[in-house]
Structure 1
Amino acid sequence: DLPVNVSGIEQARLYATYFGGGDGLPADTEARDLWKKYMPESRILPFDKKDNFWEMGEVGPCGPCTEIHYDRIGGRDAAYLVNMDDPDVLEIWNLVFMQFNRLADGSLRPLPDKHVDTGMGFERVTSVLQGKRSNYDTDVFAPLFAKIQEVCKAPDYRGRVGDEDDDKVDTAYRVLADHARTLTYAITDGARPSNEGRGYVLRRVLRRAVRYGQQILGADPGFFSKIVPTVAECYGHAFPELHEKMGFVVEVVLDEELAFNKTLARGLRVFNRIADGVKAAGGSQVSGADAFRLYDELGFPVDLTEIMAEEKKLTVDKAGFEAEMEAAKERSREARKKNKSTSVSLNMEAEQTRYLEDHGVAPTDDSSKYNWDSTPTATVKAVYTPKGFVDGDKVGPDEEAVGIVLDKTSFYGESGGQVYDTGVLRVTGDSSGAGGGAEEACVFEVDNTQVFGAYVLHIGTVKSGAIGTGDVVKCVVDLERRGFVAPNHTMTHALNFALRAVLGGEIDQKGSSVEEEKLRFDFNHGRGLTPEEID
């Protein structure tokens, strides 16, 4: 209804796709039959897992999908061009039926709750409505392109792609516009360029943009931060936080940009020497060792090195780079071995928490975790192992990892950056859990405590005896260890207060780690602290 009756897109140009089956799953005939109400069967096309089964990664929620495709040309049968990467037949809408969970072994399990995840391609639909062959030719990008031309003193954008864009000028326009938006939104939402995780993704994005602007468009150092405010001008009416945090975003981008400039010129010289040497030797590939040197010593992400190599008609030994990277990580792991955690790991997903709900297991009452000397008596409601829940039988020392769900507990499950409690659960022969003179029927050593949904899972191993559902236990937290954790927790709050007092109210906590030996406090700030601020 929205694309046809509201937006006015010509229905005869639309095609629908659905999951045609595979991976042990039947075809999604329900979606197919629904589409028959709106278009002829010749425009309803089945595709396999590659095109019509959406997955977020190797594990996690997933499901079949159905898509809407649009033919820019019209007046023809374009069914054979759907899902063929033809620029004139493009997907504009996708509906994913989230109904499975992909496990680590590759198998699929039905999700306890199923959803429809829908997404419309805003820029693609805009190009359709404005009659443009490229998203970049629409008015969505016009203000950004104008700002790029002004700041970089670049020639006009002409919309060239591929071999036509032989000087890469138009490619640079597109890279700068896309990357300016990415960084502005991400930093506004609290992410920061760094050397790890999502932060490193942002750092790679920024460095790629800086290199295109300076090397291709001839921009001056510091140019990229001047483009960022235009993002807020374009989208701030829908996302007012872009205006609110623009000063901070510009500061972060400028600091990152200037830091990269310190190594950019040298890195380009080193790369050019490497590339010239490869060509002089009759080769066609930059070695993994050289690519890793550019990454490790000069801050050049490997994808940036690949782009520069491609411009010189060379490739990069990506496998060799990954081997060098893994060797460096192994050296780092060896250096950290002394601090390596020995705790047992065991996870519960939605399937397991639903199992507990369906079997009448009430949420764990963990209110006594706040009472320092509390050693409550509790009842075992479920026993969980890597093989699944144990029904009826008891488990003993032969199980390498066991999870115990109790009706109540004094153990603190890891959350909010604070490390979990450890200790023991004691099962006594008198079925009261009181201990005392009664012989202990089981000693369960708790190495890890995690919260999954409404349930606290005590993870560890049986040291003696056996434990099973219905057993009464005494919860004994290792209070000596907790005595080192608690003051570190308190000091994260003190540190938060001190940072705000010295650096200002814009400081936000972005994470923390509270352990018995140390604490870590993560916060946002656009620059390094001065010695005076630290003092």
Structure 2
Amino acid sequence: METAEIRRRWLTFFEGKGHAVIPSAPLIHEDPNLLFVNAGMVPFKPYFLGQESAPWDRATSVQKCVRTGDIDEVGKTSRHGTFFQMNGNFSFGDYFKRDAIAFAWELLTSDQADGGYGLDPDRLWATVYEDDDEAERLWQEVTPLPAERIVRRGKKDNYWHMGVPGPGGPCSEIFYDRGPEYGQEGGPEVDEDRYMEVWNLVFMQYDLSAVRAKDDFDVAGELPAQSVDTGMGLERIASILQGVDNMYEIDEVYPVLAKAAEMTGKTYGATGAKTAGESHPDDVRLRVVADHVRSSLMLIGDGVTPGNEGRGYVLRRMLRRAVRSMRLLGYEDPALPELLPVSMEKMSASYPELRDGFERIAQIAYAEEQAFRRTLASGTQILDTAVVLTKESGGEQLSGSDAFKLHDTYGFPIDLTLEMAAEQGLAVDREGFVALMEEQRQRAKADAKAKKGGHANTEVFKELRSAGATDWRAYTELTTEATVVGLVSQGRRVEEIAPGESGQVVLDRTPFYAESGGQIADAGVISGDGTHLVVKDVQRPVKGLVAHTVEVVTGPVRVGTPVLAEVDPQWRIDACQAHSGTHVVHAALRQVLGPSALQSGSYNKPGYLRLDFAWNQGLSADARAEIEHVANLAVRDDLPVSAAYMTLPEAREQGALALFGETYDEQVRVVEIGGPWSRELCGGTHVRRSSQIGALTLTGESSVGSGVRRLEAFVGMNALSYLATERALLAQLSEIVKAPGPQLPERVSELVARLRDTERQLDALRKEQVAAAAGSLTDQGEDVGGITLVATHVAGGSAADVRQMVLDTRGKLGEDRPVVVALTGDGGAKPVVVIATNQAARERGVKAGALVRVAAQTLGGGGGGKDDLAQGGGADASKVDDALAAVRRELGASS
């Protein structure tokens, strides 16, 4: 049974049992504590925590998940993976243990012809929490499962909670016996390789007041409503129903592994262990490729782009690990163009949007592979230099700092550094590398903590939210009478905030737009009897609650105070222009470049917008001009702007575009500009007709990462001001070069050409002078211990000049006797020293690199290079004679 069919049967079964079918949420989740959705119940957390009322009594989903905590273990065993899918059925105060057990047993054991999975009941086992007599009794009442196949286990195995105070409860896990070839007999307590867990039924019935560890917590009492949260790993049940050993061999994963094996000439499983123990390195690498290609496909599909931090870094690491694994398997050509389409073909059966968006996905992935290939080339050069210097100094291992620099600056994986260093006979200081990585992690944590320092503890806002949601009126009003229902200062609830202090104000209703969807918050004031507050920021710290960060000018402001909340009207107008302008630019972009140029992020504030989009090359001047032209035609045509609410499936059916990375409710707001010309899911504020955007001018286009470009623009009065500045600048340039505006490009080109000709003539003259000077240097040789040394200072000589003179002089002196040429120059910002040796000198043990380091240290700097030619520099030009003297001494001592 194919995985897509297993998924379909799950949803059909539970829909038939009265469950609302909920589409998978994107892998990017609004929870600030999660990089990605990592469990099937994550989108339902607000309902289980009591922060919101569930819109359904019972629901079911197949949720996309990514777990990256053990990414380094992927491939080493057949059990570790990053992307997976979790089948779940949920009850919010509706059915409980009896029905959850009955549903699970029916779906697992019903004949496949009747829509079930057709598992042999005699191979199923159940575990229950050690004190859960009710669950054990229900397993015997509801199913034919014999008592000897119902096992009691402790808190570590059969008790579930979120790791924080809140709902929790015992759970019951279902295991499938894969047979004696997979391990010992005796149930899951004996061998969890043979007995594979396929389903976990969590019975949320207690309120936990404190959670210290998985098996250490306090129970405050019963929950007011008992709920059910279940999870079945789709990949696990697929491996059973498809008769394969593990997730890497199921129909959604194995084709990528097989393709990688074909490309590299490897045979998967030929020398590796099937179920336990150490796997062959080739098998590990093939699994890494299969897992990371699929995970990357799903992440890019949900709007993640490669980057150097957060989600982007995880994606970049996976893509690069896949490419590196192919390299280690012996495949040197670009691999992703061969592998990614294979994964898309399999995954699009369940997620058809992958096929629709594959051009964009492929652009991003392939651009990242090309960037990594360039990284490998540059990193290899840096590594080779580090290896030479290490060997010159007599070292036997590459320093941790060198390995860290390769990793941090050049994106060079530590495993690749280890491998390539070993090929050249060196070890790597792993402990030093790990220590530097830990220092970096600590700095990142401190930085993140500092950035979060201005935000109050969300627990405080959860308490305020429990009293009711904010009546949000940003779409319809700019001024609203309200009451202060909560005040927060330095993360704590307070009763008042004094003049001169700042804090967060929660009102029962507000017209202020809270920052979201790329649009920054409104500005304005909140005032009352003797109270005047300036609004600095507006956020939603928890869903349904709006918090205003304010500075108290006069006051104090107290809880219960009636106030008037007033948005700055000009700010709102300018913000609407910018947000509607973003939609117009996005539509123009897609019209000019094609539908694959999808927005992947945006930011807009009064008068300014920027839009990030998937594209793997810079835009030509003609393309930028056409995008701006199309956008301004839309402004001129005075297109109607409208917003309507509908279900998410309805919006998708109408072709509405969703911003990657956003999480949407079942009811979504669709904003149209000119009907289908621009139709996007959006919660922002907008103008009523496109002409109200005013002038729109693109000001910049640049790269912000592999496969991602950024457009920037001004709108409204800011656009007019920008154009006026450009016009004034054009007039000034015309006056300087004495040419009218239309002739300015030709005139400037002419001047640039003349300048280049002059520079070429000067360069030729300088080379002649260098050659002449080099000829005279051959007469300045002195004997130092049987070695001819030419050591002098070239006043005004640049690094290039000095290097050329050194090479020419060495060439003229020939190989009849040992020669060292050492010249310094001061024609650049800092003094430079270049030293060359001939073959005869090197046979005497004289090395240019060692001599340069002596000279550069005297200059207050450093340097290095090869035995025949080396270069260095310093900070103190007054020490050039001392530097040359140091070379003489070193040469005399060595000879």
Give the alignment's TM-score, normalised by structure 1. 0.74
Task: Name which of 155, 172, 178 aligns with 1:48.
Answer: 155
Aligned pairs for 1:350-389 (under 5 A) are: 351-352=462-463, 355-357=466-468, 363-367=470-474, 371=477, 374-383=478-487
Task: Name which of 179, 190, 205 aligns with 1:81.
Answer: 190
Structure 1 stretches lacking a partner, 5+ long: 21-26, 429-439
Deviation at 1:515, TM superposition (A): 3.5
- State how far apart, in whole Å, the 1-side matches of 2:171 and 2:588 are: 50
Query: How has the CA–CA distance of structure 1 residues 248 and 329 changed in structure 2, closer, same or farther, with 3 Å as cutoff?
Result: same
Larger relative contact order (CA 8 Å, sep ≥ 6):
1
Aligned pairs for 1:27-426 (under 5 A) are: 31-37=135-141, 38=143, 39=145, 40=147, 43-49=150-156, 52-53=159-160, 55=162, 65-73=171-179, 76-81=185-190, 86-97=192-203, 116-138=228-250, 141-155=253-267, 157-158=269-270, 160-161=272-273, 165-166=279-280, 168-216=281-329, 218-267=330-379, 289-301=401-413, 315=430, 317-324=433-440, 326-327=442-443, 345=456, 347=458, 351-352=462-463, 355-357=466-468, 363-367=470-474, 371=477, 374-383=478-487, 394-397=495-498, 402-426=503-527
Deviation at 1:261, TM superposition (A): 0.9
Q: Give the match's secondary structure for 2:308.
A: coil
Structure 2 stretches lacking a partner, 5+ long: 1-104, 112-116, 626-895
- State how far apart, in whole Å, the 1-side matches of 2:373 and 2:566 are: 56
Give the partner amino acid of 1:3.
Answer: L
Deviation at 1:497, TM superposition (A): 3.2
- The answer as to whether partners of 1:112 and 1:350 remain within 8 angstroms in 2 is no
Give the partner amino acid of 2:286.
Answer: Y
Give the partner amino acid of 2:155.
Answer: D
Q: Give the match's secondary structure for 2:439.
A: helix
| Structure 2 partner of 1:433 | none
1:376-412 CA-partner distances (Å, limit 9, x unpaired): 432334445677766xxx4232997654333433322
Query: How has the CA–CA distance of structure 1 residues 507 and 197 changed in structure 2, closer, same or farther, with 3 Å as cutoff?
Result: same
Q: Percent identity?
A: 34
| Structure 1 partner of 2:566 | 476
Query: How has the CA–CA distance of structure 1 residues 41 and 153 changed in structure 2, closer, same or farther, with 3 Å as cutoff?
Result: closer
Give the partner amino acid of 1:206.
Answer: L
Query: How has the CA–CA distance of structure 1 residues 17 and 265 changed in structure 2, closer, same or farther, with 3 Å as cutoff?
Result: farther
Deviation at 1:313, TM superposition (A): 10
Query: How has the CA–CA distance of structure 1 residues 448 and 520 changed in structure 2, closer, same or farther, with 3 Å as cutoff?
Result: same
Deviation at 1:211, TM superposition (A): 0.7
- State how far apart, in whole Å, the 1-side matches of 2:560 and 2:278 are: 74
Query: How has the CA–CA distance of structure 1 residues 130 and 473 changed in structure 2, closer, same or farther, with 3 Å as cutoff?
Result: closer
Q: Give the match's secondary structure for 2:324.
A: helix
Deviation at 1:306, TM superposition (A): 8.3
- State how far apart, in whole Å, the 2-side matches of 1:464 and 1:477 are: 18
Deviation at 1:450, TM superposition (A): 2.3
Q: Give the match's secondary structure for 1:77.
A: coil
- The answer as to whether partners of 2:456 and 2:488 remain within 8 angstroms in 1 is no
1:405-446 CA-partner distances (Å, limit 9, x unpaired): 334333222222211224332221xxxxxxxxxxx1x33443
Deviation at 1:489, TM superposition (A): 3.0
Q: Give the match's secondary structure for 2:496.
A: coil
Query: How has the CA–CA distance of structure 1 residues 450 and 272 changed in structure 2, closer, same or farther, with 3 Å as cutoff?
Result: same
For these two proteins, the number of residue pairs brought into alignment is 492
1:192-237 CA-partner distances (Å, limit 9, x unpaired): 2233322221111111011111122x11321222122222333333
- State how far apart, in whole Å, the 2-side matches of 1:29 and 1:388 are: 43
- State how far apart, in whole Å, the 1-side matches of 2:292 and 2:206 are: 33
| Structure 1 partner of 2:548 | 458
- State how far apart, in whole Å, the 2-side matches of 1:225 and 1:104 are: 50
Deviation at 1:87, TM superposition (A): 2.7
Give the partner amino acid of 2:176.
Answer: Y
1:219-263 CA-partner distances (Å, limit 9, x unpaired): 132122212222233333333233333343333322221221112
| Structure 1 partner of 2:40 | none
- State how far apart, in whole Å, the 2-side matches of 1:155 and 1:499 are: 46
Query: How has the CA–CA distance of structure 1 residues 90 and 402 changed in structure 2, closer, same or farther, with 3 Å as cutoff?
Result: same
- The answer as to whether partners of 2:518 and 2:601 remain within 8 angstroms in 1 is yes
- State how far apart, in whole Å, the 2-side matches of 1:117 and 1:502 are: 47
- State how far apart, in whole Å, the 1-side matches of 2:617 and 2:119 are: 48
Judge which range, 254-263 or 415-424, deviates more.
Answer: 415-424
| Structure 1 partner of 2:126 | 16
- The answer as to whether partners of 2:268 and 2:286 remain within 8 angstroms in 1 is no
Give the partner amino acid of 1:443.
Answer: H
- State how far apart, in whole Å, the 1-side matches of 2:483 and 2:230 are: 44
Q: Give the match's secondary structure for 1:144.
A: helix
- State how far apart, in whole Å, the 1-side matches of 2:205 and 2:399 are: 44
Give the partner amino acid of 2:272.
Answer: R
- The answer as to whether partners of 1:364 and 1:405 remain within 8 angstroms in 2 is no
1:93-113 CA-partner distances (Å, limit 9, x unpaired): 223456799999979999998
- The answer as to whether partners of 2:359 and 2:596 remain within 8 angstroms in 1 is no
- Larger radius of gyration between Structure 1 and Structure 2: 2
- State how far apart, in whole Å, the 1-side matches of 2:247 and 2:349 are: 21
Give the partner amino acid of 1:290.
Answer: D
Give the partner amino acid of 1:378.
Answer: A
